[in-house]
Every structure is written in C-alpha cells, then in structure tokens.
Structure 1
Amino acid sequence: MSLWIPITIFAAFCQNLRSALQKHLKGKLGTTGATFVRFGYGFPFALLYLAVLHFGLGYALPEASGTFLIAGALGGVAQILATFLLVHLFSFSNFVVGTAYSKTEPVQAAIFGLVLLGETITPAAGVAIVIGVGGVVLISLSGARVGPSALLSALTGRPALIGLASAAFFGISAVCYRAASLSLGGPNFMMQAAATLAFVTLFQTAAMVGWMAWREPDQLKASVVHWRSAIWVGLVGIAGSAGWFTAMTLEKVAYVRALGQIELVFTFLASWLVFRETVRPREALGTVLIASGIVLLLLGR
C-alpha cells in the first residue's frame, strides 16, 4: 500500500473530528472567530511538529524560495476564504444545497491541478472522482426535500454559489500547498510538508489577527475567552493538516482529496453502528457511491 493512502485516511478522520468541534464553537463565536481558531490555535502545534522533526530527528530545515513563499501565502489566503465561506453557509436556513456544492472540491482540485501544475489524472480516476462526489452530494442532501426543480433553481441561489466558491478556494489552496512543498526539494517529504504547514499557519494567524483587530475586535476577544475549547480545534486541525500536507507532497491533489471523502463514510458508519440512528436511503446510496469511487480510484490511478 502506498504511504499516502493511510496518511490521507488519518487526515480525513481528524478533519471529521475538527469539524464537529468547530461547529460546536460556532454557537459561541461568530463566523470569523470560528474560522480563526483552527489557524490561531493550530500554529503553535505546527511549529512544535517542525521542531520535533528538526531537533528530535535531526532533519535539516529546507531553504525557502520565492516560489515557496508566494505559493504558501496564496494557499493560506485561499484556505481562509474557503473556511469562512463554509462556516458562513450555516447561517442560511437553506444551506443544504450550498453545503452539497461545497463538496465538489475534488473535481475542482483536479481542474486547478491541471491548470496550475500541469498534473493529469487517468480517465478511470476521473470517473472515480465524479462517482465519489455524487455520493457526497447525495449524503449532503439526504435530510432535505430537494426535487429536480428546486435543485435547478438553487443553482443560482446565494447558498449554492457560496458552496461552489468555497470548494474552488479549497481546491486552489490544496494545489498551492503541493506547489509550495514540492518547491522545497528536500530533505524529505515529511520535512517539506512540516515546513510548509508551519509557514502557512503562521501566515494565516498573522493575517487573521490583523484583520480581526481592525474590523472585528470582539471576535478576537471571544476567541481568547473560549481558549479551552478552541485549543482542541487547533490541535486536531493541525494533526489533520499535517496529514493532508504530507499526503499532497507524496501524491497528486485530486487523488488525495478524492480519497479524503472517506470522512463521510466514517460519519455514516458511526451514526449507524454506534448511535443506532435511522439510515436514509440517500445516505446508504451515497455511502456506496463514495466507497465505489474510492475503490475505482485506487485501482485506476
């Protein structure tokens, strides 16, 4: 088994946990505050991870280039915008369609990977990604009564456009992170990913602190007040990000993000086996599609 596969599965599991913690914080903080805590409380752990690799394991620090700094900064800004838009979706009463569209990231990541990095995917992998995204969309819409006419009208609705924009920014950020990490050229994939993660989270923290101090000081204060909850978001978020950055250093972004959809399979199995919740037909079909897409992806890449 290729190393990027278990690393991606670990990252998806951490992302699932971080999302639950972040959604809980949304009730205590606003959209900006809930967006900030994953970066502001995460960057100390990113620096600690880099220090362990350097001082503990003896890996040399890579030399940053202009490409690294530009790609990392652009990816950081794109991820902030994507996270803000995704959290903002929950303020809409009809956010379901928008959330479903936000799951089109693997498709958009494949497009941006081709345009920005010249990376291509196999036809079988392309079909696998589309099948997986279809399954994710089905699960996202499982609790809503969304008919063909409603879906058609929702294409131009504000939540749908926000969801698509969020997916686009997530796709751009992932491609930029891979470009930044690969530009370092060594000493090894772990150190490349860790250095990229440390720079990006430090940049994101500085950018958001500056913005919040200027425009939303109440959100900055609230994120400090609720540090006991926020620190767990930062820790779990960085663990997941370390996994994503490492996997995307080893493998193409489209493949990594497509496999990352296994996160929803974890959620489905937990609700069914652990919490004994009723399974809707759309959820079951969506899970089958995601699993099928993942199998086809691993066989056809």
Structure 2
Amino acid sequence: MDLTLLWIPATVIAAAAQTARNTMQHRLTDTLGTIGATQVRFLYGLPFSLVFLVVVLMVGGESLPAFNWRFAAFVAGAAVTQIAATALMLATMQLRSFALSTVYIKTEPLQVAVFGVVVLGDHLSVWGACAVIVATTGVVLMSLKGKGATLAGSGWRPALLGIASGAGFALSSVGFRGALLSLDSGSFVLRATSTLVAGLVLQTIILVVWLLVFKRDVLLAILRSWRSSLLAGCVGAVASQFWYIAFALTATVNVRTLGLLEVLFAQVVSRKVFAQTATGRERLGVGLVLVGVVLLLVSTST
C-alpha cells in the first residue's frame, strides 16, 4: 500500500484537533490559570495515549519496539524543549500582546527547516523552501493586528524570547521525529504511538514534580477539574497522535508548514465561537498561507 501522501490527511486532522484542544484550554485558563491549563494536555492526554498504544499493539499484532539510548536522548531533549518553549511563549505574552508574540513564535516552520536539515538531514527543495517562507509570511500578517502591532520598536527582549520559543517548538518537533526514526522495528503507527507515550510520560512527570514543589494548589485544582479536563486531554492526545504519524512519513518541515492550516481553523473558531471578525490584513494572510500550502503540496508530490 502506497503511504507516500498519508502524511497530508494526518497533518490536517492533527491541526484541526489541536485547534479544538487550544479552544478548550483557553476556557480552562479561567479556572486553572495558564500553567494549569497547559499541564492538562500532558496529564490528561497520557491515559488516552496509553489506550492508543494498546489498541495499536492488539490490532497490529506487534510487540513494542526495542529500547535504545538514541531514542531516549531524542525523546528527553524533545520533551524538555517543548516544555521550555511553552514557558518562553508565556513569558513573551506577558511582555507583549498575544498578537505580536505570535509573530515571533510562528517563525517555527522556518526554524524547523534549518534544524531538520542540520539534525536529521531532511531534504528541502527550492519550492518547499518557498512554501515555508510564503506560508510563514501569511501567519505573520494574520498575527499583526491593531494599531502599533509592528515589529519595529517592539523591543529586543520579547523578540528574543519569542524567537527562542519558536526555536524550542521547532527543536521538539525535530526531536520527536528523530526519536521515532531511531526505533529499529515496528510499523510507522506503532513507532509514532510509542514515541507519543514516552514523551507524555516524561513531560507529565516533570510538570507534576514542578507543580508539587512550586504550585501545589494548581495541581490540586487540576485534579479536581478532571471532568472538564478529560475531553481536552483526549483531543490533545488525538492531535499529538496524528502529528507523530505525519512525522513518521515525511520531513518535519513539511508537516509543520502544512500544519499552519491550524491558523485558518482558528480563524473559523474565532468567528463562530468568539464572534470575532477578520480584517483585510488577516484575509491577505489567509491567502498567503493557502498559497504556501499549495506550493508545499506541489513540491512534495513531484
């Protein structure tokens, strides 16, 4: 069976599920705070990822891939950089507006392109590079909203923090792809699911320990709100599952560039759920994202 293009629907599903999870987390922030809502994706996503793993093992009749230290190093690095990237993102948003912070953070696809080539030796064609640049420019335009939302004069500290956050997310994506590629056995679905479980286990442990030491009241609030958090955890686990399936089938930069469809889904959510209207600049940004996506699909199918 030809699986060459399966990464495309996997990425679209992942982007849609991540948009839904972000909407749920946005609502949980009111009761749990930013850190608490962030931990929900790990703590309540872990049980569902374990269910996914059991199902994959039963349906495929396979055994777990053999452990190796290269896999462990990639997972550990990716898990820690993803947590650090989230912390840097929150710090950036405390210094500047959400919109302007997003401009810096959404440089992730550009950085993924660089890290993917350097760390994993992923190939990036000229058209693929153009797709990344065009789509990222579209996201930047969509993020620059309102008066004063320009890069000039925004200050070096939020810029450095935001770009560092984008770098952290880029490194984590490349790291998780490196982890699943380092596994010597198993189908691409099993390797993706095993990597997902390993990453969530480590991230859950790290954040639970941190909350126990510094924010015990937040941890207790997370546990008390399990009913409202389970759905967000489930949807987040589904998103991660399909991200990793896509990572197993193609270069990280392809996945993350097509994954910018998430911002289009977010536009729909903003209009339908939060009754927000799109500006002319946002519409232009949407158009550029779509052009970038088309260029990406053409470059990867030829």
TM-score, reference length from structure 1? 0.93
How many residue pairs get matched? 297
Q: Report the CA distance between 1:186 and its aligned residue.
A: 2.6
- Partners of 1:67 and 1:93 lie apart in 2 by 38
Contact residue 93 and residue 101 of structure 2 kept, 8 A: no
- Partners of 1:84 and 1:115 lie apart in 2 by 25
Contact residue 89 and residue 99 of structure 1 kept, 8 A: no
- Partners of 1:297 and 1:260 lie apart in 2 by 11
Q: Report what 1:156 is aligned to.
A: 156
- Partners of 2:98 and 2:270 lie apart in 1 by 21
Q: Report what 2:125 is aligned to.
A: 122
Stretches of structure 1 that go unaligned for 5 or more consecutive residues are none
Q: 3-state DSSP class of the match of 1:59?
A: coil
Q: Report what 1:146 is aligned to.
A: 148
- From 35, 47, 63, the equivalent of 1:60 is 63
Output the amino acid matched with 1:254. V
Q: Report the CA distance between 1:155 and its aligned residue.
A: 4.9
Output the amino acid matched with 1:288. G
Output the amino acid matched with 1:156. W
The worse-fitting range, judged by mean Cα deviation, of 14-23 and 77-86 is 77-86
1:184 equivalent to 2:183? Answer yes
What pairs with 1:130-141 in structure 2 (closer than 5 Å)?
A: 130-141=133-144
Q: Report the CA distance between 1:259 and its aligned residue.
A: 0.2
Q: Report what 1:241 is aligned to.
A: 240
Output the amino acid matched with 1:12. A
Output the amino acid matched with 2:238. A
Stretches of structure 2 that go unaligned for 5 or more consecutive residues are none
Q: What is the RMSD of the two structures over their aligned residues, measured on CA atoms?
A: 1.9
- Describe the superposition over 1:7-57 as per-residue Cα deviations: whole angstroms up to 9, x where unpaired: 000000011111111111122123322221110111111111001111243
- Partners of 1:267 and 1:98 lie apart in 2 by 16
The worse-fitting range, judged by mean Cα deviation, of 218-227 and 289-298 is 218-227
Contact residue 135 and residue 290 of structure 1 kept, 8 A: yes
- Partners of 2:32 and 2:271 lie apart in 1 by 30
Structure 1 residues 275 and 202, CA, compared in 2 at 3 Å: closer, same or farther? closer
Output the amino acid matched with 1:279. A
- From 9, 18, 22, the equivalent of 2:21 is 18
- Describe the superposition over 1:54-85 as per-residue Cα deviations: whole angstroms up to 9, x where unpaired: 12431221111100011001101111112233
1:295 equivalent to 2:297? Answer no
Structure 1 residues 273 and 213, CA, compared in 2 at 3 Å: closer, same or farther? closer
Q: 3-state DSSP class of the match of 2:31?
A: coil
Fraction of identical pairs, as percent: 39
Contact residue 36 and residue 219 of structure 2 kept, 8 A: yes
- Partners of 1:25 and 1:273 lie apart in 2 by 19
Structure 1 residues 155 and 104, CA, compared in 2 at 3 Å: closer, same or farther? farther
- Partners of 1:6 and 1:32 lie apart in 2 by 31
Q: Report the CA distance between 1:211 and its aligned residue.
A: 1.4
- Partners of 1:98 and 1:90 lie apart in 2 by 6
What pairs with 1:94-133 in structure 2 (closer than 5 Å)?
A: 94-133=97-136
List 4+ stretches of structure 1 deviating above 6 A.
Answer: 273-276
Q: Report the CA distance between 1:87 and its aligned residue.
A: 4.0
- Partners of 2:21 and 2:272 lie apart in 1 by 21
- Partners of 1:30 and 1:13 lie apart in 2 by 24
Output the amino acid matched with 2:156. T
What pairs with 1:29-40 in structure 2 (closer than 5 Å)?
A: 29-40=32-43
Contact residue 75 and residue 195 of structure 2 kept, 8 A: yes
Q: Report the CA distance between 1:103 and its aligned residue.
A: 0.9
Output the amino acid matched with 1:125. G
Contact residue 35 and residue 80 of structure 1 kept, 8 A: no
Q: 3-state DSSP class of the match of 1:27?
A: helix
1:82 equivalent to 2:85? Answer yes
The worse-fitting range, judged by mean Cα deviation, of 1-10 and 271-280 is 271-280
- Describe the superposition over 1:136-160 as per-residue Cα deviations: whole angstroms up to 9, x where unpaired: 1111113x2136xx522215142x3
Contact residue 31 and residue 88 of structure 1 kept, 8 A: no
- Partners of 2:274 and 2:229 lie apart in 1 by 26
Q: Report the CA distance between 1:276 and its aligned residue.
A: 7.3
